[in-house]
Amino acid sequence: KQRGKLRQLDMITQLVPEGVSISYVRQAAPKGLGDAILCARHLVGEEPFAVLLADDVIRSTRPCVAQLIEVYQRTSGSVLAVEAVPVEKTSSYGIVSLDSQRRVSSIVEKPAPQLAPSNLGVIGRYLLTPRIFDFLAGLQPGAGGEIQLTDAIAELLLVETVTASAFEGQRYDCGSQAGWLQATLDYALLRPE
Ligand code: G1P
């Protein structure tokens, strides 16, 4: 501040908007996405909550989570962001089948293409009700020996409406080097310098 670097100071202070606090929890062992979410149960409490997987970057004027919240406000049930994926890639995603109202009727983690119920893959944005925690707490390890969020959602959809939502925006798969590089370039090109 004394050196007059006010623009830089602004950038830092605006990282955390007013009224927002950040808490961290560590997952003690790499036991899967479901286990990681369960680690945050005491922070979430009895509220609906969003899960954002950082390796899926979504560029959109309306944030993807805001789009999911809109659906939640209509359905009062959990909402998953989905996107059509190439058939040969079904084994990288949770794959859903839907009824005519886009309610999820089944979900399976990383099926081989010949076993996949569709080519609609779950992208790393979820709006979940706290009911999911009881199902997560009761799970045995699933695909890859991990506690899978997908397996808990498969149980959740028997007791509440789970909706699959398409979303506006471009997704970058930053879990792959090519996707990460593409995201880096596209975001860089948005900057005048
Ligand atoms: C996780 C989920 C999977 C989902 C994917 C989205 O898999 O287990 O259901 O489709 O994120 O990116 P991961 O990419 O962590 O292997």
Asked whether residue 5 carries a pLDDT value surpassing 90, the answer given is yes
Beta-bridge partners for 161: none
Contact between residue 151 and residue 142 where contact means Cβ atoms under 8 Å apart: yes
pLDDT at 185: 97
The best mutation among 80, 92, 151 to test binding of ligand 1, ranked by most ligand atoms within 8 Å of the C-beta, falls on 92
What's the token pair of residue 115?
Answer: 């076993």
Mean pLDDT of 94-123: 97
Degrees, nearest 5: CA angle 164-152-154? 50
Any ligand 1 atom below 6 A from CB of 53: yes
Q: Which residue is closest in CA terms to ligand 1's atom 16?
A: 92
For residues 191 and 193, give the distance between their C-alpha atoms in angstroms, rounded to a whole number: 6
Q: How confident is the model at residue 37 (pLDDT cuts 50, 70, 90)?
A: very high
Predicted TM-score (pTM) of this structure = 0.92
Asked whether residue 17 carries a pLDDT value surpassing 90, the answer given is no
Any ligand 1 atom below 6 A from CB of 93: yes
pLDDT at 170: 96
pLDDT at 13: 86
Mean pLDDT of 120-134: 98
Any ligand 1 atom below 6 A from CB of 150: yes
Tell how far the Cα of 110 is from the centroid of ligand 1, in angstroms: 8
pLDDT at 191: 92
Mean pLDDT of 98-119: 96
For residues 18 and 166, give the distance between their C-alpha atoms in angstroms, rounded to a whole number: 31
Mean pLDDT of 51-59: 96
Asked whether residue 14 carries a pLDDT value surpassing 90, the answer given is no
Asked whether residue 129 carries a pLDDT value surpassing 90, the answer given is yes
pLDDT at 18: 85
Q: Mention every residue, 6+ apart, whose C-beta is less than 8 A from residue 55.
A: 124, 173, 174, 175
Q: What percent of the chain has pLDDT over 90?
A: 94
Mean pLDDT of 91-105: 96
pLDDT tens-digit series, residues 69-84? 999 999 999 999 999 9
Task: Please give the distance of CA 191 from its chain centroid, rounded to a whole number.
Answer: 27
